[in-house]
């Protein structure tokens, strides 16, 4: 008698638990008791698989399944917007060498589009490790002879060397210019490639040149052009998560956080700023509006 009562109690307890776990039909007390008398083994009922719902924080602070996932905050340097605004003020006169003699000023504006693009690329190749004034002089001498793919291929190496001297590493550049020009004639019908990947595959063309060529020659912003000036200033202002060792490393760091709308502006701003105020040696910190905001200035 006691065992029967005990079984009824267990069955009722199990029936109640099954109902609370989502079973569609709840066992009645009499059915549970009868079932308990038939067998001492508890009856196994299949459990329904319950879906797990993950709630995301909604924009209005309420939780909901349709809310957007939380976004991980993007790192950005302190005071960078004020620093950039100050650099714009210091560069407002546009009187640095890059403003008058940069790659966008060295080609023949009256030449056909294909020739203009070739001249842009050539000026960028010459500009590596070379001051803008020297690059502009070499481009003037080349253009005076008719600067085209055909004319360069017809010019012997000694003559080409005399025309571009004294640009930095001029002997290597003679070789690179000849090799690249031959490739352009054979593979691109005398034009330059329209992608960064194809541009950097050309002899003597690096990432900075490729991104500038895309911007000036093709009107496409493909990335931030980082030369020695941009590399130096970005590290001085702590615009990178950590100190970078190469311009290419700096470019990748900047592109992670700097809004894309500023990519086309930052090269010209920082290059001119580096030519006039944030010099490689003995920077003019006393004349810089960012003196109080620049970590490097505090160390001087």
Judge contact between 120 and 103, C-beta under 8 A: yes
Distance CA 37, CA 286 (A): 97
Name the burial class of residue 95, with classes exposed (0-12), middle (13-18) and buried (19+) by CB atoms within 10 angstroms of its CB.
exposed
Of the residues 114, 208, 241, 245, only one is catalytic, namely 208
Distance CA 91, CA 277 (A): 10
Pick the closest to residue 177 from 133, 214, 147, 213 (CA basis).
Answer: 147
208 is catalytic: yes
Judge contact between 268 and 225, C-beta under 8 A: no
How far does CA 222 lie from the centroid of its chain?
Answer: 9
Beta strands in 229-276 (DSSP E): none
Active site residues: 208
């Amino acid at each position: 008698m006691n065992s029967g009562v005990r079984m009824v109690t267990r069955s009722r307890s199990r029936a109640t638990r099954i109902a609370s776990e989502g079973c569609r039909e709840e066992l009645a007390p009499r059915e549970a008791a009868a079932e308990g008398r038939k067998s001492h083994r508890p009856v196994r009922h299949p459990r329904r698989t319950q879906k797990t719902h993950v709630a995301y924080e909604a924009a209005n602070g309420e939780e909901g399944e349709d809310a957007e996932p939380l976004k991980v905050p993007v790192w950005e340097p302190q005071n960078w917007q004020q620093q950039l605004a100050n650099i714009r003020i210091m560069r407002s006169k546009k009187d640095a060498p890059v403003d008058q003699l940069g790659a966008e000023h060295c080609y023949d504006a009256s030449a056909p589009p294909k020739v203009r693009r070739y001249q842009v690329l050539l000026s960028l190749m010459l500009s590596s490790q070379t001051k803008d004034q020297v690059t502009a002089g070499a481009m003037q001498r080349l253009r005076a002879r008719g600067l085209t793919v055909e004319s360069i291929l017809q010019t012997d190496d000694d003559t080409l060397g005399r025309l571009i001297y004294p640009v930095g590493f001029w002997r290597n550049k003679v070789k690179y210019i000849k090799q690249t020009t031959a490739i352009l004639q054979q593979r691109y019908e005398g034009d330059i490639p329209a992608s960064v990947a194809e541009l950097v595959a050309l002899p003597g063309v690096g990432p900075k040149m490729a991104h500038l060529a895309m911007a000036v020659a093709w009107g496409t912003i493909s990335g931030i052009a980082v030369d020695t000036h941009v590399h130096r200033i970005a590290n001085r202002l702590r615009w990178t998560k950590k100190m970078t060792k190469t311009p290419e490393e700096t470019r990748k760091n900047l592109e992670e956080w700097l809004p894309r709308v500023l990519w086309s502006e930052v090269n010209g701003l920082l290059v001119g700023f580096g030519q006039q105020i944030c010099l490689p040696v003995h920077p003019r910190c006393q004349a810089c509006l960012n003196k109080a905001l620049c970590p490097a200035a505090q160390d001087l």
